[in-house]
């Protein structure tokens, strides 16, 4: 998982670079060229995926007995794993989506400064994958999740102090690293909550929870920023972090990695 996440390092540079270079390329409006460039990149991804060959499934594993989803969800490890991924994506979407608007449209930073902050943020999301997998092996996913949570708290504190360029940069870098630790820690922990025969429905449920919360955060981010301001956006993140603290406390000592028990 950590190795695969490193692919995002290239995206950290390429995506913002294309957006900046092409933002005035078309006469249809500002950033229309950026969307055209992104569409081209996504078309290339579609071509690559078209040649993907799936790994043959093990029939014995798929036909094995499966527990109902409510029983799987009742495991403390599942609760912590799913919450870590959901909070990571929700906070990342809330703050990252609003940052370019806040910097470029509200605080009037130039596009180069805004691009640099977003590039640094995306780099911070994926570069820690060089060592986060080893860190999980050494201290366990629960402690890595805790570390990610602390980084998210630090992100909010720095972002709250002021809206200078350095504050934006530091807070977005902390946000990226915190996202990496929360997401990878949660994903690793999730694999301990299901048997091979259950993996598809558990992964599907986990993805549904994560990306539903992310979608709501992304949709609400701009509205909150423009209607109530930057600080209000940060306040929305506080209940998410408090919920994670409660879940970590509730699952302490019960969310270790191991083979799930079929009951």
User: Looking at per-residue confidence, does 216 or 111 come out higher?
Assistant: 216
Angular region, 67: left φ>0, alpha ψ -120 to 50, beta rest: beta
pLDDT at 27 over 90: no
pLDDT bracket for residue 259 (50, 70, 90): very low
Highest mean pLDDT out of 23-27, 129-133, 178-182, 259-263: 178-182
- pLDDT (0 to 100) of residue 86: 97
Number of H helices and E strands in the chain, helices first, is: 12, 0
CATH 1.20.1250.20 in the chain, residue ranges: 69-250
Q: Which long-range contacts (CB under 8 A, 24 or more apart) does 149-153 make?
A: 149/87, 149/178, 149/182, 149/241, 149/244, 149/245, 149/248, 150/178, 151/175, 151/177, 151/178, 151/181, 152/87, 152/88, 152/91, 152/178, 152/182, 152/237, 152/241, 153/241
Task: Mark out the alpha helices in 127-198 (DSSP H runs).
Answer: 129-139, 141-161, 165-190
- Comparing 5-9, 98-102, 114-118, 243-247, the range with the smallest average pLDDT is 5-9
What's the fold here for domain 69-250? Growth Hormone; Chain: A; (1.20.1250)
pLDDT bracket for residue 9 (50, 70, 90): low
pLDDT one-digit tens code per residue, 41-58: 889 889 888 888 776 655
- pLDDT (0 to 100) of residue 262: 42
- Comparing 21-25, 79-83, 129-133, 206-210, the range with the smallest average pLDDT is 21-25
Do 248 and 84 meet the contact criterion of CB atoms below 8 Å apart? no
Average pLDDT, the chain: 87
pLDDT at 227 over 60: yes
Average pLDDT over residues 72-92: 96
Average pLDDT over residues 79-106: 96
Do 173 and 121 meet the contact criterion of CB atoms below 8 Å apart? yes
Whole-number Å distance between alpha carbons of 215 and 240? 15
Residue 192 DSSP code:
T
- pLDDT (0 to 100) of residue 146: 96
- pLDDT (0 to 100) of residue 90: 97
User: Looking at per-residue confidence, does 199 or 16 come out higher?
Assistant: 199
pLDDT one-digit tens code per residue, 135-192: 999 999 999 999 999 999 999 999 999 999 999 999 999 999 999 999 999 999 999 9
């Amino acid at each position: 998982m950590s190795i695969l996440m490193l692919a995002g390092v290239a995206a950290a540079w390429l995506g913002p670079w294309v957006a900046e270079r092409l933002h005035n390329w078309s006469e249809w409006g500002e950033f229309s060229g950026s969307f055209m460039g992104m569409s081209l990149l996504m078309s290339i991804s579609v071509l690559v995926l078209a040649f993907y060959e799936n790994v043959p499934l093990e029939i014995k594993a798929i036909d094995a007995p499966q527990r109902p989803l409510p029983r799987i969800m009742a495991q403390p490890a599942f609760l912590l794993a799913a919450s870590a991924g959901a909070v990571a994506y929700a906070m990342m979407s809330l703050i990252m989506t609003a940052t370019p608007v806040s910097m470029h449209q509200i605080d009037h930073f130039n596009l180069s400064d805004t691009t640099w902050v977003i590039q640094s943020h995306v780099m911070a999301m994926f570069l820690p994958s060089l060592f986060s997998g080893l860190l999980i092996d050494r201290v366990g996913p629960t402690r890595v999740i805790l570390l990610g949570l602390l980084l998210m708290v630090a992100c909010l504190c720095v972002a709250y102090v002021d809206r200078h360029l350095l504050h934006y940069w530091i807070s977005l870098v902390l946000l990226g690293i915190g996202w990496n630790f929360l997401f990878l820690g949660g994903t690793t922990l999730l694999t301990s909550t299901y048997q091979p025969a259950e993996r598809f429905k558990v992964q599907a449920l986990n993805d549904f929870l994560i990306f539903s919360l992310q979608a709501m955060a992304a949709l609400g981010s701009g509205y909150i920023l423009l209607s109530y301001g930057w600080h209000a956006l940060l306040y929305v993140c506080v209940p998410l972090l408090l919920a994670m603290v409660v879940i970590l406390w509730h699952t302490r000592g019960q969310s270790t990695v191991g083979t799930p028990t079929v009951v």
